[in-house]
Structure 1
């Protein structure tokens, strides 16, 4: 095997693509800061017991693991940053007030999440800790939509769901609670025949509600249908009201859809969940939701909600960036030349000094001007 080959679903990022990704990262982090979010940088490597706390089986299967040669304990390369940021809030910052945190960094997956997905996503996200009200969910949803708008996506679909619906349905049925993981998988796949087989020994009210969930998807009118066919349990009533409020807050900024069987992320989500979809990508480009119980293992349960997206996947959907205009200058150490180049760079100009005997060939820059010496003065001339 040639030594330059990379593992499957691992790839280098070349200059023009890297610039798109970095521009997105900077602009989004700057926008997060305008909302009051503080940047944190969790480590790439942690002990598995901390890294996977409350993260669910899916994250466990996606996590690369290795033995620490210093402690002998099992380490994990992070496959997601949400639980890491929850640990920082609960254990290190330990604030009593509402805390807004954001992050950006690479994560690593044992298997790709989709057909053409990378196993090394560049994850960026934002989280709010300390407020249990719907205001925090609405702010996170707004921030996620604003992030896609900054990237140039005007045609966005917001899919809403709620972990509380399933949990309320099975809360009083011991047989259903035992099968919670299987129910989650069947609902996620919208496997109605599988649901019928699994639920045949459940209480009638539980079974009827579970069999109705795969059909409860569509526009916001789904909420009215859900109120008609689902039992009026307090948890279900509250969940449907929260979804109605979040749908209303997104009007005018995105097409809104409801899918009460879309339970991706269910293992650690505890409330409203959402996915954002854009043309050109079959999977959600961003996902978010409420996860109030993740901090318990770190000594302090705090209300929490947030979202994240993969910058590499998002950048892949964007058109190639236009080449930036630049200035070509000769190589030299003459004080006047050095001062002229420094002054141009201080004003934001890209100045590329040509190495003697070489042509310039860049993906990102187009030299449309040149710095030349005329009558003892360095002047700019346009190139044809």
Structure 2
């Protein structure tokens, strides 16, 4: 007779247990990021994991509606959603509970988000997320601040060599709208831009008229910020698109005034990402092939206030950060005075007390053993039965 019961360790696709020591590393990293945010005046808020669907998906929350798990609240008989992104919740808090606070409002958060599906490169559906939101200012300096605070937080977490990629998600739609491109041609041109297909973009832009001619030029200009800014300056842009370009130049100038050594790239016609971005959008990358560590940008808050923010992904940051030295574990033999154990913890050790004569420091993954009143490395001092 076979046992058809499922393996109790089997979890749904995209969900996983985080075990020692990775769980502790992630928790320490989150607190390091939050400490960096607090140092710049960002105050912590804690939204609930679930909210009523109509409030969770209102405003900018509608951009993540397709990624939101829904369930019925047995108490109120109303539909609720599990957050897929924390930014809309912070915007709600700012507009309601903190609506009378002086602006600009600086808030930060840490928690888990859950998404209906992952991506091919990042299949995880439950993710840790930390971030900052600056609400109530439309100044270029506000966008610069969130980018630089996020970069500093990553440096404190062990990722010093970050690069900032800036995109203008409203530039391509603005040019297409100004050119009066028919819907079918507009869709094809947007697809060519999304795929970075310069040949197709050039051919389609010629069909779309003179105002769309800037699109393939700006597509080719993506790269280091100076070159892309020069292309934007030289392009024949309608007023709305020129305002987007001027704002990007102002944001980059504000960033360089405070951190001239930060590597900045600019893609003027990239428009992927959350659909609620209405100005510059940011992505922070670590050295090498570490992938996205943070993403954010300008959006409109829940009560139509100007806002900007950045979300950081601790799981990605852990992969990019320099590995932290594990906390040394000291084996405490039976009968160790509590004062000795307390003194070791004050020195940064984790103490692991023997509970029975057969307990072994090696089996308990200890690196040290308490002997003669001091922590001695196991590699230098072999363990003996007298230590139990």
Name stretches of at least 5 consecutive residues in structure 2 with no aligned partner: 1-5, 382-388
Matched, 1:126 2:119: no
Residue 301 of structure 2: aligned partner:
294
Residue 269 of structure 1: aligned partner:
277
Q: Whole-Å Cα distance in 1 between the matches of residues 37 and 317 of structure 2?
A: 17
Residue 355 of structure 1: aligned partner:
355
Deviation at 1:186, TM superposition (A): 4.7
Q: Do 2:222 and 2:265's aligned partners in 1 also have CA atoms closer than 8 Å?
A: yes
Q: Whole-Å Cα distance in 2 between the matches of residues 46 and 266 of structure 1?
A: 20
Q: Whole-Å Cα distance in 1 between the matches of residues 97 and 341 of structure 2?
A: 46
Matched, 1:50 2:51: no
Counterpart pick for 2:142 among 116, 125, 136: 136
Name stretches of at least 5 consecutive residues in structure 1 with no aligned partner: 373-378
Task: Give the direction of change, closer, same or farther, for the CA distance of 1:250–1:182 in structure 2 (3 Å limit).
Answer: farther
Counterparts in 2 of 1:118-197, with a 5 A limit? 118-175=124-181, 186-192=192-198, 195=201
Q: Whole-Å Cα distance in 2 between the matches of residues 148 and 107 of structure 1?
A: 20
Residue 112 of structure 2: aligned partner:
106
Task: Give the direction of change, closer, same or farther, for the CA distance of 1:194–1:109 in structure 2 (3 Å limit).
Answer: farther
Task: Give the direction of change, closer, same or farther, for the CA distance of 1:362–1:100 in structure 2 (3 Å limit).
Answer: farther
Task: Give the direction of change, closer, same or farther, for the CA distance of 1:230–1:52 in structure 2 (3 Å limit).
Answer: farther
Name which of structure 1's ranges 103-112 and 63-72 shifts more when overlaid on structure 2: 63-72
Deviation at 1:317, TM superposition (A): 3.0
TM-score by length of 2: 0.84
Q: Whole-Å Cα distance in 2 between the matches of residues 112 and 180 of structure 1?
A: 28
Report the aligned-residue RMSD.
2.9
Deviation at 1:349, TM superposition (A): 3.8
Name which of structure 1's ranges 69-78 and 239-248 shifts more when overlaid on structure 2: 239-248
Residue 386 of structure 2: aligned partner:
none
Q: Do 1:370 and 1:381's aligned partners in 2 also have CA atoms closer than 8 Å?
A: yes
Deviation at 1:116, TM superposition (A): 4.0
Task: Give the direction of change, closer, same or farther, for the CA distance of 1:192–1:221 in structure 2 (3 Å limit).
Answer: closer
SS at match of 1:239: helix
SS at match of 1:221: helix
Residues 88-131 of structure 1: CA distance to partner in whole angstroms, max 9, x if unpaired?
Answer: 00111102421100000000111113424421110000010111
Q: Whole-Å Cα distance in 1 between the matches of residues 63 and 307 of structure 2?
A: 20
Q: Whole-Å Cα distance in 1 between the matches of residues 174 and 166 of structure 2?
A: 17
Q: Whole-Å Cα distance in 2 between the matches of residues 49 and 181 of structure 1?
A: 30
Q: Do 1:17 and 1:320's aligned partners in 2 also have CA atoms closer than 8 Å?
A: no
TM-score by length of 1: 0.85
Task: Give the direction of change, closer, same or farther, for the CA distance of 1:155–1:342 in structure 2 (3 Å limit).
Answer: closer
Counterpart pick for 1:316 among 319, 335, 340: 319
Residue 384 of structure 2: aligned partner:
none
Residue 375 of structure 1: aligned partner:
none
Task: Give the direction of change, closer, same or farther, for the CA distance of 1:183–1:99 in structure 2 (3 Å limit).
Answer: farther
Q: Do 2:286 and 2:293's aligned partners in 1 also have CA atoms closer than 8 Å?
A: yes
Name which of structure 1's ranges 177-186 and 8-17 shifts more when overlaid on structure 2: 177-186
Q: Do 2:141 and 2:251's aligned partners in 1 also have CA atoms closer than 8 Å?
A: no
Residue 338 of structure 2: aligned partner:
338
Residue 376 of structure 2: aligned partner:
382
Q: Whole-Å Cα distance in 2 between the matches of residues 359 and 303 of structure 1?
A: 60
SS at match of 1:11: coil
